Amino acid sequence: MSGGTFPLAQNAPELDSRDRLRHLRDEFHIPKYPISQETRQTDETPGQQAIYLCGNSLGLQPKGTRALLLEELDVWADQGVYGHHNHPNSRPWIDIDACVSEETAKIVGALRSEVAVMGTLTSNLHFLMAAFYRPTDVKYKVIVEDKAFPSDYYAIESQVLWHGLDPSDAIISISPRPGKHTIDTRDILQVIEDNREFTSMILLPGVQYYTGQMFEMERITKFAKSHDIVVGWDLAHAVGNVELSLHDWQVDFAAWCSYKYLNSGPGGIAGIFIHEARSNQGRLTGWWGHDQASRFKMENKFVAIPGAGGFQHSNPSVMAAVCLLGSLRVFAKTTIKAIREKSVRLTGYMEELLLADEETGRFYEIITPGNPSERGAQLSLLFKDGIMDAVFRKLELAGVIVDKRDPDVIRVAPAPLYNSNKWGIEASARLTTVPTSEQILVPETLLKKRKSAEKQTEERLSALKQRKVASKAKRETIFKRAEAHVKEYRDAEREKIRLARSAKQDSSFYVPAQPKLAFVIRIKGINKIAPKPRKILQLLRLLQINNAVFIKLTKATSEMLRIVEPYIAYGEPNLKSVRELIYKRGYGKINKQRIPLTDNSLIESTLNQYGILSIEDLIHEIYTVGPNFKQASNFLWPFKLSNPTGGFRTRKFKHYIEGGDTGDRESYINQLIRQMN
């Protein structure tokens, strides 16, 4: 396409005339071009309004902000310190945040007490994670998105390191599926499900900065909290952009900046949300979080302001607060619902314009989700190598203000408070004009990058082919070994039947061999355990009620079991029980972590040196008490069983032969395994 008029263009004036929020555009200063020294070379008419599609990076200045700032400067000049209490405009500095917190709470869908306006985004994330990220030996992992905004990732990584943990182990990153740019909610829920026992916290963006994808915050929060996982959201690109209901969604905490869609100015004051149910959470404290009535008594006895206010540290910047106030007064003239409705229409209209010409697919694609419920006021355009800078410069010269993010994305944000369909028409006409060859300058570094990428692709494909061949051979080996195990089990069972029949024919008795394997379950005992039994339970790795392990029966282990009989139930498991336990509740000890056995490669990576390549090899080694039983048993993390179906017997603490549950059950242990597995 070479410019021209869109067939949709004729609708723009009509759509703008029906816009119920069009009057709010007059509340903002619109930049005029030429914007920069470079764009002064353009032939466009000087002093004409620019087309501003960059509200996701920095919102425009409300016209009321300047007057508010001057008022505070006058109070400072005229009254000095007395401005803290005697303010002519009823904004005493002592609680300057009060004038912005209530409207902010409406925008994020929270109670007034659940919101505090303070600090900056990354600092606030650190303070919130110091309060909510409390890793334990078991639950210590943090789930994030793979392409998190760098500052968020640095904050999470440093928090993990601060707790003495390894980020490569403690941070779980969620990536889009191959060939996709955005993350499917089902994949997020699956990662949570797979790591629920080890995950302490989830921190995701409400709207992703690069793609513009809006996550299903309510659904993700509900699912994660059902697994006792702390849920936090970075709302930098969501607040003032999409509808939020943080209180109703039961979000634990959230943080945001205010200089994007909230238009508070560069480096504007940020905000936090803490759900009222978590308001007593331990935290790093400061004097501005102290109860206001006794704050100046200087007693060094911290009494927190109820709610999010108790998480404040120092008094907020008055100038930053009134800059936010200038924008919130515009928000107060409408509702976030009405803003969102216009945003959906405006962004959808611009998407239509950008997709109206099939030729546009030759040099960029829109990677933001097409479903309006999965995005805010942003469209991310991914350009082919080498042309993004040329397009960006062409837009800048034409007075269209957008921003770019490496690699190769131009972000277009039709912020609804001051954007119009007319702007969408003009910007789209320039965006869909293919840059000329003279405009596209390919640096040598990019050429090298392409060549390197091609080489890496070839190497990756070659390695993939080799892995496929090796994988096929490995599967054949595993299958043949599994067949051999089945034959061995069948032959052993037939031999047992033959010996029993032979003994019967000789009018004799068949005495089975002494069992070599026991399955031991700890069913009681927490307090007042003598040192020796306690030590044995520790040696057997039976640290909790309903823990269970496989034990090789020897003279030594039999004596140990006899000593701890009042606390355990044990017996000889059959093949079915061993297989069901390992398949259903089997976890391996890999790098000192409890990892579910979902893949044979996990077993092979640890036990390959002992000839154990698959889960069937592991079952065989355990059931037959093979030569590498010790290594196989130690690889298995102690089982965590459920309470038995129907409960224990009424005389649980008696020996099994006395009608209780403790002690040796012999083969009847399999019935208890069925009840607890």
Which residues carry a binding-site annotation for pyridoxal 5'-phosphate? 121-122, 149-152, 234, 237, 259, 287, 315
Angle of helix 600-607 relative to helix 615-623, nearest 10 degrees? 60
d(CA 373, CA 213): 9
Which parts are annotated binding residues? 121-122, 149-152, 234, 237, 259, 287, 315
CA distance 198 to 142: 9
Taking a C-beta distance cutoff of 8 angstroms, is the pair 160, 171 a contact? yes
Give kind and range of the element (H or E) at residue 364.
strand 364-366
Six-digit token string for 250:
């039961």
Among the listed residues 10, 28, 15, 9, the one whose alpha carbon sits nearest the alpha carbon of residue 420: 15
The amino acid at residue 301 is K
Q: What is the 3-state secondary structure (H, E, C) of 585-618?
A: HCEEEECCEEEECCCHHHHHHHHHHHCCCCHHHH
Close Cβ partners of 282 (under 8 Å, ≥ 6 residues apart)? 131
What distance in Å separates the CA atoms of residue 327 and residue 337, rounded to the nearest whole number? 17
Q: Give the C-alpha separation, 386 to 442, whole Å.
A: 5
Per the DSSP assignment, residues forming a β-bridge with 172 are: 143
Q: How many Å is the Cα radius of gyration of the chain?
A: 33
Q: To which residue do tokens 């955005």 refer? A: 182
Q: Per residue in 657-666, is it b (16+ CB within 10 Å) or e — as a string? A: eeebbbbbbe
Phi-psi region of 659 (alpha: psi -120 to 50; beta: other; left: phi over 0): left
Which residue shows structure tokens 């990677």? 367
Rounded to whole angstroms, the maximal C-alpha distance in the chain is 116
Q: How far is CA 294 from the centre of its chain?
A: 39
Q: How far is CA 313 from CA 77, 82, 110, 293, 417, in A?
A: 26, 22, 21, 16, 33
Please state, as a whole number, how many other Cβ atoms lie within 10 Å of the Cβ of residue 331.
21
φ and ψ at residue 75, rounded to 5 degrees: -65, -40
